[in-house]
Every structure is written in structure tokens, then in C-alpha cells.
Amino acid sequence: MTFPDKTPRGWILLLMLLFLNACDIQQAQLHQQQFLLFGTLVDISLWSDDKQKTENAIAQITTDLEKMHNEWHAWHDSPLTRLNKALAAGQPGTVPPSMIPLLQKSIALSNASDGLFNPAIGRLINLWGFQQDDAPSNTPPDAARIQDLTTAQPKMQDLVLAHDQLTSRNPNVQLDFGAIAKGYAVDLAIEKLRALGIHNAIINAGGNLRAIGKHGDRPWRIGIRNPRGPGVLASIEARGDESMLTSGDYERFFEYQGKRYHHIIDPRTGYPARGFTSVTVIYPDAATADAASTALFVAGPQHWRDIAKKMGLQYIMIVDDKGHVTMTPAMAERVRFELNPAPNFSIVALP
């Protein structure tokens, strides 16, 4: 049959095509958008059959994320750097509305992690050269300066918030939300997507992600990066609404005399935390998972189980500096190794 032909069947086919077109029936499909923010690649993946709604949602959350990035920036001129200046001068500083819940959540999570997640150590992070757009210098800072900032013990409990006015009992407090902001921003973006009627999505900020719903008729499959070398170490199927965040020593670092100095600082010593190369945590909300992955990284081989218990975590996967993988039993049940051969691993229960 040539088409369009003049037989009754040809006319019926033509009418059906016109009807479908008029209804604008769209196939559900994957929509993706990537951009650079928070010093990393942000990837938005939506599964939807409504192109218009999808485009609008992506535009809105892109704007939201840009605003958060600008308001919470730790070294560009921002409401956060202005607040830090006030605290350093012993003055009250104004907390913008977007930062109040982030600050409150950070105080609670810092307490829950015994202060190992400590966003008050901005001065130490700056001293190590990890608050700059360029690559950090390739020598560790002066030991005496590290010692001074460590013994000054800046901590979140030094802060007092009254309405939108923040004061610090310790002028050495300098806020840096680098260990929680990506997770918290992802939470807010997912909330916005839901409000816009999108229920199947992943928002991934450099391996820090939250997934909702499904990818069509199958679950979203999410990857954990190989901390040493290319590719994916392992993958996991997301269950409905879940966040998976990884802290790794490969994100920002320099090497000096054969040793790696990275951006996750142990507030107890003032030096980069030792023992692990990556820590992955799955938890319902991304902000908690973000703070927790940093806290466990800092806790190190001796203390991570106690901190995990305190923070109410269940799903944890750790790669140590020898490449050995340790997982909690709940995590081990869900992990599929993607490297060949699979790494050596052990399964360790929490206390």
C-alpha cells in the first residue's frame, strides 16, 4: 500500500495519525541536563512524558541551585563571607533566610557526629588552600598555624542564633558548608520537582545524589565511583526515594613528598583525615547523608562504626587506603561490584 492511498483503510489510517497528533501524545522518556555548580558537575535526569513540564522544572531548579550556590559560597563575596567577617570581628551577622535551616541542620548534625562534621573550621580549610578556585598550593601549611587554629577549637556550639542574627562566642569560627551544601541543595531541588508534579528523577551533584520514583518500569541504578582509577566501583538500585552521597580524597588534593593532602580535614588534628579513600552513605535525605559521609571519613578506621551508630546510619560502604572495601550488612545485600576483578571486601556489623 502506498500512503496516503485513497482506499477507506488509507483514510482511516490518516485520520488516526491526525488524531494522535492533535492529542500530542508523548512517549515517556529520559530528559537530562548538565551544568557546573558547587565546583562540580550537576546532572539532572527526569523521566517524564511531558516535555513542557520537564523543561520548566529544569529551568526552575537550575535557577534555585544557582541562587544557593551564590548565597552559600565560602570564599567569593557572598552573604556567607559577609557573615563570617562579622563573626571574626565579634559582631552579630545577618543570616539570609535560605541559610537558616541549613545552619540549624548543620548544628544538629555536628552534634550527632561528635563534632567530626564541623562546618565551623572554615579557617583551617582556607589555611590548607581548599577555599580557592585555583588548584591548592603543593606544600602543607606551617605546622604552628595548623596547631593554633586547632587549639582554638571553633565549633558549631559556639554559635547563638536569635531570629536572623548570629553571634559566635569564639571569633575563630568561620562557616564553610562544603560538606553539607550539595546534599541540602539536592534535597531542596527534589522538593521543588515534586511540587512541580515531577515524581521520577535523579539530581546528582558530582556523585552526591537523590533519586525519586523510577526510570520507566525499572528502578534507577546508581553508581559509586572508583576512588582510584576510572570507572564505577559498584552500583546499587535506588528504592523509591533515597540519597546516596560519597566523600572522597580524590575530589581536591595535592601531593607533597609522596603523600596525598586532601580536602577533608580532621578537626581534632587540623590535618587531612587518614585511613580512607572514599566513604559512601545511603540515607533518606541527602543533607544528612552528606554530613554523615564526611563525618565517617574523618572518624577513620577506629571510630566510624560508633559514629555511624550515633547518626542512625544503616547503609555504608568504605574504601580504605589499601583498596579494601568494608560494607555494613545492609549495604552488602544491595551492592553489585562493577570492577573486574571485584575488590577484596569484608562485611562489618555496627555495634
Site for ligand AMP in 137-176 (CB under 6 A): 176
Q: Is residue 125 a contact point for ligand AMP (CB under 6 A)?
A: yes
CB 245 within 8 A of CB 291: no
Q: Is residue 294 a contact point for Mg ion (CB under 5 A)?
A: yes
Give the nearest distance from C-beta 342 to ligand AMP in angstroms. 25
Spatial neighbors of 173 by CB under 8 A, at least 6 apart, are: 87, 120, 122, 154, 155, 158, 159
Spatial neighbors of 74 by CB under 8 A, at least 6 apart, are: 80, 81, 122, 125, 131, 175, 176, 177, 178
Q: Which is nearer to Mg ion, 202 or 245 (CB)?
A: 245
Q: Is residue 187 a contact point for Mg ion (CB under 5 A)?
A: no
Q: Is residue 178 a contact point for ligand AMP (CB under 6 A)?
A: yes
DSSP 106: H
> Measured between alpha carbons, how far is 170 from 192 in angstroms, rounded to an integer?
36
Site for ligand AMP in 223-252 (CB under 6 A): 247, 251-252
Task: Tell which residue, 15, 133, 31, has the closest CA to residue 76.
Answer: 133
Vertex 208 angle, CA 211 and 99, to 5° = 100
Q: Is residue 290 a contact point for Mg ion (CB under 5 A)?
A: yes
Q: Is residue 280 a contact point for ligand AMP (CB under 6 A)?
A: no
Chain residue at closest Cβ approach to Mg ion: 294
Give the nearest distance from C-beta 148 to ligand AMP in angstroms. 17
Task: Establish how many alpha carbons lie within 13 A of residue 171's alpha carbon, considering only the half-sphere containing its beta carbon.
Answer: 6
Give the nearest distance from C-beta 84 to ligand AMP in angstroms. 13
Chain residue at closest Cβ approach to ligand AMP: 178
CB 125 within 8 A of CB 263: yes
Among 146, 179, 193, 212, binds Mg ion (CB under 5 A): 179
Q: Is residue 264 a contact point for ligand AMP (CB under 6 A)?
A: yes
Q: Which is nearer to ligand AMP, 121 or 331 (CB)?
A: 121
- The helix-helix angle for 51-71 and 181-195 (nearest 10°) equals 150
Q: In degrees rounded to 5, what are phi and psi of residue 91?
A: -105, 155
Contact partner, 220, from Mg ion, ligand AMP, none, Cβ < 5-8 Å per class: none
Per-residue interface string for the shown chain with ligand AMP, residues 286-315, x marking contact by CB under 6 A: ----x--xx--xx-----------------
> Measured between alpha carbons, how far is 156 from 170 in angstroms, rounded to an integer?
10
Site residues (CB under 5 A) for Mg ion?
179, 290, 293-294
Site residues (CB under 6 A) for ligand AMP?
117-119, 121, 125, 130, 176, 178-179, 247, 251-252, 263-265, 267, 290, 293-294, 297-298
